[in-house]
Amino acid sequence: MSTIGPRPIPTLDHLPRPLYARAESLGAGSWTTRHRHDWVQFSYAISGVLGVYTSDGSYFAPPQWGVWIPAGTEHDVVTSMQAEMRSLYVRSDACPWSPSECRVLEVTPLARELIKQFCTFAVAYPEGDSAEARLVAVLLDQLRTLPQVGFSLPLPRHPGLLALCNGLIAAPDQVQTLQQWAVQLGVSEKTLMRLFQRETGLSFRNWRQRMRLLTSLALLEAGESVTQAALGCGYDSTSAYIAAFKQLFGATPGELRL
């Protein structure tokens, strides 16, 4: 049965083993309240698009990608459409190599099969020199080497820039130029360009393009046509949208849609 609305957060005091699996079928509009825990979380989308939101930015996992959430990071998870999610909880002592920031990672075919097999194990799987413990060791090694992809959208901390970005996310088809935003914020265009780069690590143009492409994922998942998704996220040309989409995701909208 699919969960719709607020999702319960597991009440775990500790993880009984270095790795713990959670499988969920999520309905459109499922979400969690903002929370944190003492272990790493890796949320992997088998189908649907997951959105993970933190104070530092937003991270999107289309099918076959996942979001790595470091221990102690406050976050909430939202699915705009139905999704099949697999979450791995990892004890911090089992992954001392964990990065300190959220990342979106590509789930390789080998990692996918290992996760699938691990999800069949008992919560208190045998440790020591058991077959289960050996698979867990291989899976952890695979998680360490998963390729990082650019499906994140960093948010600035500057109040004026943050308001600008939130406005663009709410209405990605806005056509205001950087110069118009600079006038609104009372700074020069060059100052705004430098501030935006320093706060987000991206140019304004690149940030807005990434935001539009990530926004379009939910439109595609909702069944919108490629042309409708292109127009809905601010592109005038379907061909330009497809080209930009393929450059970011490595596939066309039609190829990525399940």
Same domain, 66 and 137: yes
pLDDT mean values, one per 10 residues, the chain (258 residues): 58 90 76 87 84 88 89 85 83 94 93 94 95 97 94 87 87 88 90 93 92 88 89 94 92 77
pLDDT at res. 11: 76
Give Dmax over CA atoms of the chain in angstroms. 65
pLDDT at res. 206: 93
Same domain, 111 and 164: no
- Judge residue 223's burial from the number of C-beta atoms within 10 Å of its C-beta, 0-12 exposed, 13-18 middle, 19 or more buried: exposed
Same domain, 23 and 131: yes
Residue 5: CB atoms within 10 Å: 8
Same domain, 137 and 184: no
User: Rounded to whole angstroms, how far apart are CA atoms 44 and 77?
Assistant: 12
Q: Are 74 and 36 a contacting pair, CB within 8 Å?
A: yes
The answer to whether position 241 is within a domain reads: yes
Question: Domain range holding 168?
Answer: 155-256
The answer to whether position 9 is within a domain reads: no
The answer to whether position 13 is within a domain reads: no
Same domain, 175 and 142: no
Residue 78 token pair? 């939202």
User: Rounded to whole angstroms, how far apart are CA atoms 202 and 250?
Assistant: 20
Same domain, 136 and 165: no
Same domain, 105 and 166: no
The answer to whether position 8 is within a domain reads: no
Q: What's the CATH code of the domain at 209?
A: 1.10.10.60
**Domains identified in the chain, total number:** 2
Give me the torsion for CA of 159, 194, 167, 222, rounded to 10°: -130
Q: What's the CATH code of the domain at 65?
A: 2.60.120.280
